Structure 1
Amino acid sequence: MKKLIYIALACVSVLALVNVTRYMGDNTSKVAGYHSEVILTLFSMKTSSDFVINLPDINTDTDAGVKLTSIIGLGTQEGKAQGNYQIDEERGEVLLDYMRINTLGPITADNRMYFVAPFSVSNQGSGVFTYVGLFEQDLDNQTIQHLDSYFIGDRIQLNEMRLFDAKIELSFNQHGEQQAYAEAPTETVYLTLGVDDVSPTKLVKYLF
């Protein structure tokens, strides 16, 4: 009986470790003194935790975490935080547009800050899938957690993303019904997102 209990406890411990790894990044292979260059550059926090994007379900059976490992185009309007992934035979890239980070209100009483930022996911195919991500920055524990994603479109051109009256307003170009994806998108779309009042960790579309 005791042996069965020990086995059950071991299984629970493994599941807990998997969940922590998924959301905070894998620390098992990190050398002593490791810190995330991406978080240090973008948020001035020297931490061993990583900035992990939860990869939405695109041609995979499950969601996965992608660690952002480098900054490209630093100091330019095209600056991005980059991460690469491989799931089974699929390889891809995640680019977070940190120049369009928007904070959602002031720091909370428990020293947390929430922000949104667009990011794109591409793989060996021709698609480039753009999302708006909702993130939580824990200033005490020096961690960043990806809470939710809202899909915007495939191979779009994001024109503007701003906060107005606690809402996230976006303007982007998408391909029209008769337009080839090889062409630059020309159909302008306006979209307004916000944080769900009932579930504050979820992004929702505002309907007018």
Structure 2
Amino acid sequence: MKLFIRVALVLGLVFLAVIALGIYRFNFTEDDLYVRENDMVRPLAEFDGGAQGVMQRLFNLDTREQFRIRLPDNNKAVTLTGFKEEQHLAFGEYQDEVVRGEVLLDYRKLTSLNLPGNAESMQFVVPFAVTTQGSGVFWYLGMFRFDYQTGAIAHLASQFLGDRIEIEAITPKEPFDPPYSVTLALKTRTQEQSMAEAPGEYMERTFFVTLTSILPSSSQ
């Protein structure tokens, strides 16, 4: 009888030990899975700031080259150094004598152009705006060339679009063959509207593009 009791006690202790080990292993596995899952869903790195961060975020490039936009009025180069997240704009600040302002790049509408003779680079158009201390926000369509080898971006040309307009889309001609062109869908104000009102008139503008220029259609 005593032997039976002893055997029962030993089996009970072994059973409890197995249960305890199972609980420990379960908790360890859950913790380990939690760490691994959180590593996998770790959020993307925040924008570090500066010109190098702009190039890395827009073009996935770790380069010392900068994205510079030339002011249409005086050819002054303005470097993009940050982002306005809510408006989806990259921006750079400038000062031209007593005038201060910003250059704003609508990077979501960056449109590549499959032009011939560009084996070593990519040509693209993208709208940008220039602001001053006044209320104007003057939008332009810029043409740029991105060099695959060096990562350098050259600002080739610009065309004025309007003050405080809304650009909805940029569409290359299909099929994209000579004469090469892109069409902008945008909203502007009617003559009856004040500048304080949202643009309400829909229109389209077409521009012809070459390796070095962007020109408005003669019908505009």
Q: Percent identity over the alignment?
A: 36
Amino acid in the other structure paired with 1:186: G
Count of aligned pairs between the two proteins: 165
**1:106 CA drift (Å):** 6.6
Query: C-alpha separation between the residues in 2 aligned to 1:95 and 1:207?
Result: 28
Q: Does 1:105 align with 2:117?
A: no
Counting strand residues as a fraction of each chain, which structure ranks higher?
A: 1
1:107, 1:113 within 8 Å by CA — same for their partners in 2?
Answer: no
**1:172 CA drift (Å):** 1.0
1:38, 1:70 within 8 Å by CA — same for their partners in 2?
Answer: yes
Change (3 A) 1:49 1:182: same
2:51, 2:67 within 8 Å by CA — same for their partners in 1?
Answer: no
Q: 1:174: which partner in 2? A: 188
Uncovered stretches (5+) of structure 1, i.e. residues with no partner: 1-33
Amino acid in the other structure paired with 1:45: L
Query: C-alpha separation between the residues in 1 aligned to 2:78 and 2:148?
Result: 22
Q: 1:52: which partner in 2? A: 68
Change (3 A) 1:157 1:189: same
Query: C-alpha separation between the residues in 2 aligned to 1:88 and 1:188?
Result: 37
Q: 2:140: which partner in 1? A: 131
Superposition pairs for residues 19-38 of structure 1, below 5 Å? Answer: 36-38=52-54
Query: C-alpha separation between the residues in 2 aligned to 1:118 and 1:81?
Result: 11
Q: 1:92: which partner in 2? A: 101
Query: C-alpha separation between the residues in 2 aligned to 1:188 and 1:137?
Result: 32
Counting helix residues as a fraction of each chain, which structure ranks higher?
A: 2
Amino acid in the other structure paired with 1:66: V
Q: Does 1:204 align with 2:215?
A: yes
Moved over 3 A (4+): 106-110
**1:89 CA drift (Å):** 0.8
**1:40 CA drift (Å):** 1.1
Q: Does 1:184 align with 2:195?
A: no
1:35, 1:46 within 8 Å by CA — same for their partners in 2?
Answer: no
Partner secondary structure for residue 159 of structure 2: strand
1:154-176 CA distances to partner (integer Å, 9 max, x unpaired)? 11111222222232111111111
Change (3 A) 1:202 1:91: same
Partner secondary structure for residue 55 of structure 2: helix
Query: C-alpha separation between the residues in 2 aligned to 1:63 and 1:51?
Result: 15
Query: C-alpha separation between the residues in 2 aligned to 1:106 and 1:171?
Result: 22
Residue 160 of structure 1, aligned match among 169, 182, 187? 169
Query: C-alpha separation between the residues in 2 aligned to 1:79 and 1:157?
Result: 14
**TM-score, scaled relative to structure 2:** 0.70
